Structure 1
């Protein structure tokens, strides 16, 4: 078994010290934090053995001369339950349902379902920077690669809703019926396998709008066939939902797929209607003047203008865009022109002295990128959400996230349907 050492910081209350963690097929750090958050319910049994092992490792490193017994580690674990530092977004004290959060990113699904009084009992995310943001806000370290059996083995029984914003991948279904076995080797297969083994009451999947036409519609057709025929779920026609219709000024279309286990007798489901509130960009912009580092240089601005002009001469609409204060932002995405298609005018800057290595002078037209906080607001995250990574990582994380208000509105419909059974 391959082992790799790393140095980390563990915090218990106001005490911090360096520890040595051992990474292997056992995700003891994630098990430890999941145990702390589930010690009052039966879910904790799924995490307790490796949570104790994690505590044992901590103390063996801090006190190498001491012999730490399993019993002593278990006693320390119970003590640590009451020594947790404040968590920005704790689970509700008296939850009414349980859910799991797959491909969790920074916790958009979790934020939405916790707001509806749900308890997250398992979460997984492979990106190390997203895991840092997730832990900073929810107090839990997500488990890692969900394609591994060792990770799936941590998933508890008895949760109500499976949530997953899984990546879109094509299936090899030439000449086949497009069933469960045909999805092997894709991340949807891992989601389907978990559904098959755990049989949650409901499922809530999110993906890019392009899933509908991906591989000439074969990908979505296979997904629906697996959910309906192989796994036994009532799945109404998926719907394209736009974040701008649920209280945030962002034109972000995503496909939502909802399902209910057949034995529950659900035969109809209505997706939420758009809200009346129609915010504009001005509602999410920073209240105070932002750093000069967000303002474009004259050189880069000219490059963008020339680039757009070349495309326009060819009849293409590709290029940068400056969103008016009373307008709606384009979808925030990571990479490509994600930030450049959401530039804004902001004339509050007084000192144009660069603080980063840019080519040329800072433009004095007031043209800047949005800040990570503004992207967070566009996705429906509250201002108290902690951003603990670099700007580059923050843009990536919010660009990859779900829009919380749209998820929450749909999840409420799911929960209402389950509550009525």
Structure 2
């Protein structure tokens, strides 16, 4: 059976690709405009992604079976001013997903975004997205999945969109994960140097109020970490998770801990600064979540491909 070909849009450092690819798939195109993310992508996949997708013609993208994209969330403020949902996406980066799907008509797609997209612009954004995907000829659905249900020690809720061409007649069921949660203590390192938070910053900012913030964890913690965000290096007291360890008694999460929180392999190469490392991993996806969804998608597509092959053989006979 031929390999499933996919493209990787708004690729970041390749998190969705990492969760999707296996020996039976082939990435035929990738796109990412950020130069630091390109550097990390190249270090791990041996290719430099193409740049700004808005400047790339759909006809210049290779034919593919599946489109993958962690597209940025933007409000679609022009809804109601243009005819049709596809037209209503113009001026947003989601429009580039639409035009590529429209031109190539791949069998399926997998998209990822933050949960805020569901309420953005009073619910109009998600209305436009689902309407456009329907107009393009796809049975599309979405589900909020939490990384904590897929073996990771992090609470991270993200929206996953999956779609198949209507002619394939697919009723996609999302994986549900497990109720068993991995505690943050399972992935912590101790005696780590270089990630310390100064005592002055702790006293003047982090613990200036006695309100249970920020989240501080140690080897006995049974909770999951807060969502790792791109601005984690800014040491935010409301959203951050910090470790009771190091020379000052409190430190940031280490590189290995961040990799584990997102399900990346520890040999994943991060050839950029620590600030960029936090930004890139905070902007990326949780690998086990993508893999669980991708495995279901690939199973369906291979079954459909096998059905087509059998039909072709029957016609030849």
TM over 0.5: yes
Asked if 2 retains the 8 angstrom alpha-carbon contact of 1:129 and 1:389, the reply is: yes
Confirm whether residue 279 of structure 1 aligns to residue 182 of structure 2: yes
Confirm whether residue 135 of structure 1 aligns to residue 42 of structure 2: yes
Confirm whether residue 124 of structure 1 aligns to residue 31 of structure 2: yes
- SS of the residue aligned with 1:368? coil
Confirm whether residue 298 of structure 1 aligns to residue 202 of structure 2: no
Asked if 1 retains the 8 angstrom alpha-carbon contact of 2:115 and 2:159, the reply is: yes
Confirm whether residue 180 of structure 1 aligns to residue 82 of structure 2: no
In the alignment, structure 1 segments of 5+ residues that lack a partner are 1-93, 353-362
Aligned to 1:170: 75
Structure 2 matches for 1:43-54, cutoff 5 A?
none
- Say how many residue pairs are matched: 298
Residue 223 of structure 1: which of 129, 135, 149 is its match?
129
Asked if 2 retains the 8 angstrom alpha-carbon contact of 1:147 and 1:190, the reply is: yes
Aligned to 1:320: 214
Q: What RMSD in Å do the two structures reach over aligned CA positions?
A: 2.0
Asked if 2 retains the 8 angstrom alpha-carbon contact of 1:339 and 1:370, the reply is: no
Distance 2:272 2:233 in 1: 21
Pairwise CA distance, 1:387? 1.3
Kindly tell me: are residues 277 and 385 of structure 1, through their superposed partners in 2, closer, same or farther at Cα, counting changes over 3 Å? farther
Kindly tell me: are residues 308 and 98 of structure 1, through their superposed partners in 2, closer, same or farther at Cα, counting changes over 3 Å? farther
Pairwise CA distance, 1:275? 3.0
Distance 1:269 1:322 in 2: 39
Pairwise CA distance, 1:371? 1.1
Aligned to 2:308: none
Residue 164 of structure 2: which of 244, 260, 274 is its match?
260
Residue 380 of structure 1: which of 241, 244, 263 is its match?
263
Aligned to 2:313: none
Residue 15 of structure 2: which of 108, 129, 133 is its match?
108
Distance 1:382 1:100 in 2: 22
Distance 1:337 1:320 in 2: 14
**Bigger Cα displacement from structure 2, 319-328 vs 189-198:** 319-328
Pairwise CA distance, 1:303? 2.1
**Bigger Cα displacement from structure 2, 199-208 vs 109-118:** 109-118
Aligned to 1:250: 154
Aligned to 1:331: 227
Distance 1:181 1:271 in 2: 29
Comparing both chains, which one has the higher relative contact order based on Cα–Cα distances under 8 Å and sequence gaps of 6 or more? 2
- SS of the residue aligned with 1:249? coil
Distance 2:186 2:232 in 1: 26
- SS of the residue aligned with 1:405? helix
Structure 2 matches for 1:12-91, cutoff 5 A?
none
Distance 1:245 1:382 in 2: 19
- SS of the residue aligned with 1:343? strand
Pairwise CA distance, 1:320? 2.3
- SS of the residue aligned with 1:301? helix
Kindly tell me: are residues 140 and 179 of structure 1, through their superposed partners in 2, closer, same or farther at Cα, counting changes over 3 Å? same
In the alignment, structure 2 segments of 5+ residues that lack a partner are 305-317
Pairwise CA distance, 1:337? 7.7
Pairwise CA distance, 1:373? 2.0
Confirm whether residue 232 of structure 1 aligns to residue 137 of structure 2: yes
Q: TM-score, normalised by structure 2?
A: 0.88
Q: TM-score, normalised by structure 1?
A: 0.67
